[in-house]
Amino acid sequence: MREEHKIKFYNGPAPRGHVAKLLRYFSEALGVEASEFFNPHRLEETCFGAVCVLYEARATAPRTLLSGDALAVVVKRHVVPTPALYEKVFERFGLVAAVKASEQGVKAFLYGNDLLLESVLEIYPPVDSYVAVVDGLDGLVVGVARWDTGSRVFRNIFDVGLYLRGFG
């Protein structure tokens, strides 16, 4: 007999607290105005279980799951920009709040592991909040981490492998 799994689903306006966290991160960590990249007044949220995606609403058709580019991911109360949004910021302003990782570090990170300091090739401050984890080989953003001073590692908050592990 096939076992059924139910996933909680939500779709609607992004909670003000999530929007505020994202705007504060843009201002404080990235040093740019979020409105240069999206309209904060048009953010919607779609949640599948414990993972939520914030996006700028482009269409309001009934039963629409996502109608624009994903801008942020909410995982365990962490509201962090998506890799695609980080790449847009970096394209215009260069690397900031980022770490470049070695090939071995990227592989481990994409499996949900933390990024060890010895796998970090370069650090682009500030690192006192979230940082984009950038593949040192191709320059693509593979996820987001947060520095843990006590353990001296970059804790994996979100990585693109989550889509495969969580939804695959």
Q: What is the pLDDT of residues 50-72, one digit of tens each?
A: 788 999 887 665 666 666 788 99
In the block, tokens 């949640």 appear at: 47
Q: Is the pLDDT of residue 27 over 90?
A: yes
Average pLDDT for residues 104-121, to the nearest whole number? Answer: 96
Q: Is the pLDDT of residue 5 over 70?
A: no
Q: What is the pTM of this model?
A: 0.88
CB < 8 Å & 24+ apart, contacts of 49-56? 49/7, 49/8, 49/166, 50/75, 50/76, 51/75, 51/162, 51/166, 52/10, 52/18, 53/82, 54/14, 54/18, 54/19, 54/22, 54/79
